[in-house]
């Protein structure tokens, strides 16, 4: 997932999608120097890691952001981070005795 986010275009797409709405490729390509094809490729990468979901509306696909993967990664990192805070506090007590 980090690989998916570590790209300027994809980060920009995530930002645009963060309004919670469903967006068409045309809307997402607006104001961008990239082609429809390139934007679609990036959207598929995001879809591949579960951060974007698509649904067909008539003849076109529309895309929306799915925050659950980001939130679960953040929770996971927070958990591991907290465990380190606690372990290091114990280390401090242990060596400073």
Partner 1 sequence: MENRIEKKIELKAPLSRVWRALTDYREFGEWFRVKLDGPFVPGQVSSGHITWPGYEHLKWEAVVQEMEPEQYFAYTWHPYAVDPSVDYSTETPTLVEFRLEKTADGTLLTVTESGFEDVPSERRDEAFRKNEGGWAQQMKNIESYVAQNP
83 binds partner 1 (CB under 8 A): yes
Q: What is the largest CA-CA distance in the chain?
A: 70
List the interface residues with partner 1, window 33-62 (CB under 8 A).
50
* Of 3 and 55, CB closest to partner 1: 3
Q: Is the distance from CB of 54 to CB of 63 less than 8 angstroms?
A: yes
8 binds partner 1 (CB under 8 A): no
To the nearest 10 degrees (0 to 180), the angle between helices 8-17 and 36-48 is 80
**Element at 24 (helix H, strand E):** strand 23-24
Calpha distance 31→86 (Å, rounded): 47
* Of 1 and 25, CB closest to partner 1: 1
Which of these ranges, 16-24, 28-36, 53-61, 66-74, lies near partner 1 under the rule CB under 8 A?
A: 66-74
> How many residues lie near partner 1 (CB under 8 A)?
33
Query: Residue 18 phi/psi, 5° resolution?
Result: -70, 0
18 binds partner 1 (CB under 8 A): no
Residues binding partner 1 (CB under 8 A):
1-3, 5, 50, 69-96
């Amino acid at each position: 997932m980090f690989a998916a986010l570590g790209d300027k275009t994809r980060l920009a797409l995530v930002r645009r999608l963060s309004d919670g709405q469903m967006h068409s490729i045309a809307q997402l390509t607006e104001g961008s120097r990239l082609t429809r094809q390139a934007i679609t490729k990036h959207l598929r990468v995001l879809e591949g890691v579960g951060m974007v979901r698509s649904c067909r509306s008539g003849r076109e696909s529309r895309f929306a952001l799915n925050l659950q993967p980001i939130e679960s990664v953040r929770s996971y990192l927070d958990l591991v981070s907290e465990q380190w805070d606690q372990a290091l506090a114990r280390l401090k007590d242990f060596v400073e005795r």
